Amino acid sequence: MRPNPLRERWGDGDVALGGWLTIPGSVGAEAMASIGLDYVCIDMQHGLVDYADSIGMLQAISTGSSTAVVRVPENQFGHIGRALDAGAMAVIVPMVNTVDQCEAAVASARYAPIGSRSYGPTRVQPLEGADYWERADQDVAVIPMIETVTAMENLDGILAVPGVDAIYVGPADLSISMGLPPGDQNDPEFLTALDTILEACGRHGVVPGMHSNAAVARDRIERGFRMLTITTDLVALRSKIAEDLSNVRN
């Protein structure tokens, strides 16, 4: 198998920086994968991407050096297995609120006897090599999302589930669940929640990750996050167009 840059960054104790794809299409995926990000994630939950779209996007990501990640639509056996069979080397699983839900997510991504993943690596084995089956359980990363007060209440149990490699904070849903406006913000209550997550990850040896942006990335890294999404295709596109328009009009 090829090296997994995301895992290599974690193994070196470094911060993995990533980009987020919400717009269907291989050209955008190829562009984002060519600029040196450690990972590129296809968002099949809130993005506009369906399964057929994701195949070409995964192919485009594999032309670069970034780890291909998929956020699946929901914590469901078929979604997780298909994303991995198509070539994802990490899955982000949304709305994992309980230990049982976390165990189900891990099982869906691991072959027996560790888990219950069905064998059928349609695209990923030809891409990664004949040793894919032998190494998949060690190289594929399972990343449940922490994005509700309920998940915070069950945090230690979720982090203790064998096979959880990292967690991924969804700041918008976590904020809403806490009674705050959606977003990656600097409300003291929200920042306290982040520090609680970081402390628990340290105790359990789990990599802390979160959805973010360039404006607050420095703070999140200094706090201790080691997986950070810093750009999103649609947001970056709109921002650059607005900047160009403003510059020319001015």
Neighbours of 112 (CB within 10 A): 11
Tokens of 71: 């956020």
Residues noted as catalytic: 46
Residues 1 and 152: their CA atoms lie apart, in Å, by 36
171: phi then psi, degrees, rounded to nearest 5 = -65, -35
Q: Cβ distance 18 to 230 under 8 Å?
A: yes
| Start-to-end CA span in the chain (Å) | 52
Query: Cα angle vertex 214, ends 102, 172, to 5°?
Result: 40
C-alpha separations of 114 from 82, 151, 161, 181, 231 in Å: 18, 24, 12, 40, 34
